Amino acid sequence: MLYFVTMIQHQIFDQLGTMKAGMLSGPFTTSEQRIDLLKKIKTAILNHEEPLFKALYQDLRKGREEAWVTEIGMTIAEIDQAIRKLEKWMRPKRVSTNLLNFPSSSYLYPEPLGVVLIIAPWNYPFMLLMAPMVGAIAAGNKVVIEPSENAPATEQVIGDIIDSIPDQKDILYVKGNGAEVVPALMNGFRFDHVFFTGGTLVGKKIYEMAARQLIPVTLELGGKSPCVVEEDANCKVAARRITLGKFSNAGQICIAPDYLLVHQSKREEMVQEIIACIKSFYGEKADLSKEYCRIINRNQFLRLKGYLHYEEIIYGGHTNEADLFIEPTLVAIKDLDSRIMEEEIFGPILPVISFRTKEEALSVIQRHPNPLAFYVFTGNKQKEEDWIRTVPAGTGCVNNVTWQFTNPALPFGGRGNSGIGAAHGKHSFDRFTHYKSVLKTPTWFDPLMKYPPLSGKLNLFKKIIG
């Protein structure tokens, strides 16, 4: 650790100081300069498409199609939107002005925060690093990116991509063991924002380090996201959408349904429909499917396998440690105090719980309040409104799961233990932007009533201000 800190001090802190000085010296980069860098980033990514396919397969066994849609394609979409909309996003926004300030005009001027740190997880090791970086670059910041060492092949390719971008001085790529790299960086330099995606436990540690220097943070965390299936739900459609959202990436998705709350009258039908979908998507033997991913490493594999020793398996349950394979699995929950119902699963295991009344289902959800996502399947408009308005959550879907993340018009983020702040599309630009409030006052009119002496003007002030 001491060697690493010394290495960081000598090799990186000088670059961080240069970045900070560049932000303070001004003026900020123009839209043309930012768009030019975004285009270079896009070109570099597309030039490394094949190495990315191979790396994501090596790290997570992701097929080319899934890798493109969930990692490369989503990042390219973020870049394209930023390039297309950036000039509009950067314009000062005029806002209303009160009578007291007549004849002034009021504006919000977007300006970059400065030097920001982005820390990525391993489950989507490319997109969850690069997409927020795109927002930070679009907003005019200097960016330090720290990838997950748990996806080493992807980590290497990302470094190659950054190295291939010509004449860029706005991105600093720092890799290594996150438990050493991040504290060394944050304790040795004051960033202007820290953007972290990952688990709640690590998120709390980063929040504590940031708080010592009053550094604002965005924390994209997780939690136990419930999925409710009402008695009037379309089970066939619900099963397809739940199966896709839960078992893509072998369940290693922060917004995947963590457990299923099914109305008692629909339980058996839902279970059978989900089993049919699993077989349809991945075959009778998912370990032979080219569509099914693997667990990231042995530690995660053993953690997930440990859940299966204590629960009643409805379907699945087969594992292969050598291949880091865990079959798509459904389990019946008898004890709400079991470990699987106390911890975020983050894997291809879906607990199934029956309920008879909404109050009964809510009592389960309220054991882990403020999930990152909440899902409900119902054919009744009143029920969907009641559920959405009753369950506090970071994000959500009605008759769908996980797809809220694919719409850049929807900010993505948690609340409470599931996160702080939100990003995505324009919201990423906003996340890495300070909107400076500016009042512009002409000199052609300068009413004397606002200057001393103020005696006798109280009633006038009450009329104007009130």
Digit-by-digit pLDDT tens for the chain (466 residues) are 444 445 556 789 999 999 999 998 878 999 999 999 999 999 999 999 999 999 999 999 999 999 999 999 999 999 999 999 999 999 999 999 999 899 999 999 999 999 999 999 999 999 999 999 999 999 999 999 999 999 999 999 999 999 999 999 999 999 999 999 999 999 999 999 999 999 999 999 999 999 999 999 999 999 999 999 999 999 999 999 999 999 999 999 999 999 999 999 999 999 999 999 999 999 999 999 999 999 999 999 999 999 999 899 999 999 999 999 999 999 999 899 999 999 999 999 999 999 999 999 999 999 999 999 999 999 999 999 999 999 999 999 999 999 999 999 999 999 999 999 999 999 999 999 999 999 999 999 998 888 999 999 899 888 888 7
Q: At 354, phi and psi to the nearest 5?
A: -90, 150
Q: Which residues contact 350 (CB under 8 A, 6 or more apart)?
A: 242, 246, 251, 257, 259, 260, 274, 328, 329, 330, 331
Q: Which residues contact 21 (CB under 8 A, 6 or more apart)?
A: none
Q: What 8-state DSSP symbol labels residue 71?
A: I
Paired residues of 319 in beta bridges: 326
Q: At 35, phi and psi to the nearest 5?
A: -65, -40
Q: Which residues are part of the catalytic machinery?
A: 220, 254
Q: How many helices (H) and strands (E) does the chain have?
A: 17, 20
Question: Where do the domains of the chain lie, and which CATH numbers do they carry?
Answer: 2-221+419-438 (3.40.605.10), 226-413 (3.40.309.10)
- Rounded CA separation 150/176 (Å): 10
Q: What is the CB neighbour count within 10 angstroms for residue 279?
A: 15
Whose CA is closest to 162, among 139, 137, 186, 138?
137
Entry pTM? 0.94
Q: Which residues contact 108 (CB under 8 A, 6 or more apart)?
A: 92, 93, 95, 435, 436, 437, 438
- Are 373 and 396 contacting, i.e. CB atoms less than 8 angstroms apart? yes
Q: What is the dihedral of CA 172, 175, 181, 186, to 10 degrees?
A: 20
- Rounded CA separation 7/188 (Å): 12
E strands, 148-192, where? Answer: 171-173
Whose CA is closest to 344, among 177, 242, 241, 201?
201
Residue type at 250 in one-letter notation: A
- Are 99 and 445 contacting, i.e. CB atoms less than 8 angstroms apart? no
Question: Please, what is the Cα angle at 97 between 92 and 99, to 5 degrees?
Answer: 165
Provide the 3-class DSSP secondary structure of residue 267: helix
Give me the count of residues in the chain: 466
Strand order in the sheet with 115-119: 171-173, 142-146, 115-119, 193-197, 217-220, 419-420
- Are 339 and 349 contacting, i.e. CB atoms less than 8 angstroms apart? no
Provide the 3-class DSSP secondary structure of residue 253: coil
User: What pLDDT does residue 463 have?
Assistant: 87
